[in-house]
Structure 1
């Protein structure tokens, strides 16, 4: 297994993985998440991290094939006057190909982005996880993540 920074030439493979996670989200919450339609649908989302000087995408490779990806960015949380100003890293998305899950790739991707965030001066790292994604919850708990808040929603 190898982890490296993503390049623009990886975008098609990253978007293929993105379709997998988007399908999972759509199947669980179709009133919130769109049905994945094409490889190009998510390219602008991922490219945003490649083009951001404070952003990053890492890819996981097995036998020279991209089988996982993670993206995030570092920013100063100074948008609300009542919060302590500090550098934070926010993970945008992590995805591992279904046939490569539970082999340690998610852990490797998370540790890689954590090290990157530390090198950028971030003091905390956070992410959002959908309640239906029990496998992700288990991984994040194992890696030492804990709840800060929970978003709640109601259809009206």
Structure 2
């Protein structure tokens, strides 16, 4: 497997479909159905922004997945110290190529990239219902630093939201 930088929003939108549909299956009340044109447009608006990096995983020159990384920095303020971290926005491997070590190789690349660009930390998030992701990142040494919780409130105008 090799990783190749790209600014091809069409390719990333195509590679995004399996992970997007997985998210829809896990959280149908949160995620919109996959719409290639909307997804392609969203990636096209982001792909050339400073600090965003898109890499395609190729096996025998066939694209099998991608990583979207973002350099995140913030100044210190009254509540917290300055922050500089490499944030993995998305990582996806086509289902037919999962469990072959490509995800681990991709994350090893991310770690080396972070190290070589003087990022002391790598951050990412995943949906708590995605138990496979939880195990994968645990095996790679990631630890939880914050937990986001939600409570559904029923109103007259909408039914109770369910995760």
Query: TM over 0.5, yes or no?
Result: yes
Equivalent of residue 68 in structure 2, options 62, 67, 71: 71
Q: Please list every run of 5 or more consecutive structure 2 residues that lacks an aligned counterpart in the other structure.
A: 154-163
Matched residue SS, 1:23? helix
Using the size of structure 2 for normalisation, the TM-score is: 0.85
Q: Please list every run of 5 or more consecutive structure 1 residues that lacks an aligned counterpart in the other structure.
A: none
Using the size of structure 1 for normalisation, the TM-score is: 0.88
Structure 1 stretches of 4+ moved >6 Å: none
Alignment of 1:87 with 2:87, yes or no, is no
Matched residue SS, 2:96? helix
Using a 3 Å threshold, how does the CA distance of structure 1 residues 68 and 136 change in structure 2: closer, same or farther? same
Structure-2 separation of matches of 1:117 and 1:49:
20
Length, aligned pairs only: 153
C-alpha RMSD of the superposition: 1.7
What is the deviation of 1:80? Answer: 4.8
Using a 3 Å threshold, how does the CA distance of structure 1 residues 117 and 66 change in structure 2: closer, same or farther? same
- Residue 3 of structure 2 corresponds to 3
Alignment of 1:42 with 2:39, yes or no, is yes
Range 143-152 or range 110-119, more displaced: 110-119
